[in-house]
Structure 1
Amino acid sequence: MSVKQAPTWSRPLWIAAGFLCVGLGFLGFYLPAMPGTVFFVLAAACFARSSPKFHEWLLNLPVAGPLLRDYEAGLGMPQRAKIFAISMIVISCTASSILVYGRIMKRSGNAEYALLIAACIIALGLVGIWYIGLKVPTREKVIAN
């Protein structure tokens, strides 16, 4: 991956952000409605800008390493992983918007505000679905071409 190194003064911030993303990524592999791979991709981007040593370490992790290497090589995600990711976005955003709407209505009764927050959650989910579905390459299609 050829990414320009960050200025020396900002590298500790990139490293800290990378390790935060690694921690969230590991949580995402074990918590149901939280993505894991996205955080590992973000961690790889942070480490690519700050520390070749940590970037290499991340690429060699047994669970996330193969996914990251494929992503960096332009192979994208396997079809099965894309379907799972999009399904989790749909489930998470639907449940979150329903719960937030209900909580806001119970506490304040402000329907406009509750709908606005629920719509923002759904809009963010749609952005995620659009990105994963249309922008991230599907590994099987890349290999077939």
Structure 2
Amino acid sequence: MREHSGKTGFRILSYVALSLAAAGVALPLLPTTPFVLLAAFFASKGSLAFAQWLDEHPRYGPIIDSWRRKRAVPVPAKLLACSMMTLSWSMLALLGVSGMILAVSGTCMVASACYLVTRPSF
């Protein structure tokens, strides 16, 4: 029973991640690629049929395939992610968040941006 409930959890997470990815297609501030990759990961753990559907999807399949084969992220996704991190950190600074939170969040965002930018592009 426990194994089944774990698969259900992964299945739900994959649907939520794909929903966010689909919203990212229409909303310019919501990134699509990270959510597609999360959906593929969760689907591989919870629903092989859904994972296969994602792999064969005309829009999402190539993103997943490029990540799996080359760990590649498209340039627009890199630019959007870095821009959003910069905007988020700037908003924290403008809102007067403590220096410790600015330092920790800034360090995490810079590390994430460095990882992202050093991944190959399509």
| Fold agreement, TM-score > 0.5 | yes
Q: Is the 8 A contact 2:33 2:77 kept in 1?
A: no
Given that 1:14 and 1:49 are in contact with CA atoms closer than 8 Å, whether structure 2 keeps it comes out as: yes
Q: Shift in Å at residue 131 of structure 1?
A: 1.9
- Higher radius of gyration, 1 or 2: 1
Give the drift of 1:36. 1.7
**Who is 1:143 aligned against?**
none
Change beyond 3 A, Cα 1:123–1:45: same
Q: Which residue of 2 aligns with 1:54?
A: 50
Query: How many pairs does the alignment contain?
Result: 120
Query: Is this contact kept in 2: 1:93–1:122, CA < 8 A?
Result: yes
Residue identity matched to 1:122? G
Is the alpha carbon distance of 1:34 and 1:120 closer, same or farther for their aligned partners in structure 2, counting shifts above 3 Å? Answer: farther
Which position in structure 1 is the counterpart of 2:121?
A: 138
Q: What residue ranges of structure 2 are gaps of 5+ in the alignment? A: none
Judge conservation of contact 1:94–1:122 (CA < 8 Å) in 2: no
Shift of 1:62: 3.2
After TM superposition, list the pairs within 5 Å mapping 1:121-136 onto structure 2.
121-134=105-118, 136=119
Q: Is residue 2:33 matched to residue 1:37? A: yes
Pairing 1:1-145 to 2, within 5 Å after superposition: 7-74=3-70, 76-95=72-91, 97-101=92-96, 114-134=98-118, 136-139=119-122
Report percent identity of matched pairs: 24
Q: Which runs of 5+ in 1 are unaligned?
A: 1-6, 105-113, 140-145
**Please, what TM-score do these two structures have when normalized by structure 2?**
0.78
Runs of 4+ in 1 over 6 A off after TM superposition: none
Deviation, 1:39, is 1.0
Change (3 A) 1:127 1:81: same
Q: Give 1:125 shift.
A: 1.6
